[in-house]
Amino acid sequence: MKNIILCGFMGCGKTTLAKRLSQKLNMELIDTDEEIIKAEGKPISEIFAQNGEDYFRNLETELIKKLSTEKGRVISLGGGLAANKNNHPYLKAAGTVVLLDCGIETTLKRISGDKTRPLTAGGKQDIINRYNARKPIYESVADIVVNSSKSKGKTLSETLEKLGEKSSS
Ligand code: S3P
């Protein structure tokens, strides 16, 4: 069984959907942020502050490289992982890539002022610019795009439906 990989901007609902999908499909769940936090023994905000963003990005690349050689999991990615084109070959090798997109308005409502995410510190315009810059990069790696601005149940059913269509095409 191939992996199912969830990508998308901060606040798009990757973590929540990944939990629901893994339960529904009885597949192991991996969250790249959680794996990195566990391995480094500190929160992401501290990794950014103490080691720098490049250090964190290298950890992400090493992790997805390793995960791409294994199967059968639902993998929830940190928002920057699929925004880095160098990671795309590993994502493609890893399995079916699902992009969640809830639109910029919902994104802003969900993440503005969030203290756990270092990349929200630049404020509203910075979030908008980053969202716009990343959108085409996410789209270029996605096999499936799901609108995640609706309820959690609807996001789950749309994802399952599109995964089903994909596997039978
Ligand atoms: C980031 C998103 C975060 C986390 C880190 C950087 C990004 O994950 O990996 O703060 O660059 O978009 P979530 O998308 O789970 O918030």
pLDDT tens figures, 76-113: 999 999 999 999 999 999 999 999 999 999 999 999 88
The response to whether residue 130 sits with its C-beta less than 6 Å from ligand 1 reads no
Closest CA to 127 of 146, 114, 142: 114
Distance 79 CA to ligand 1 centre (A): 4
Q: Would you give the DSSP letter of residue 145?
A: E
Q: Where are the beta strands (DSSP E) in the chain?
A: 3-7, 28-31, 73-76, 95-101, 144-147
Nearest-CA residue for ligand 1 atom 2 is 79
Mean pLDDT by 10 residues, the chain (169 residues): 96 97 97 98 96 98 98 98 98 98 97 90 94 98 97 96 86
- What is the pLDDT of the chain when averaged over all its residues? 96
The response to whether residue 10 sits with its C-beta less than 6 Å from ligand 1 reads yes
Residue 169 pLDDT: 67
Q: What is the pTM (predicted TM-score) of this model?
A: 0.96
CA pair distance 81, 68, nearest whole angstrom: 13
As given in the structure block, the two tokens for residue 56 are 């964190």
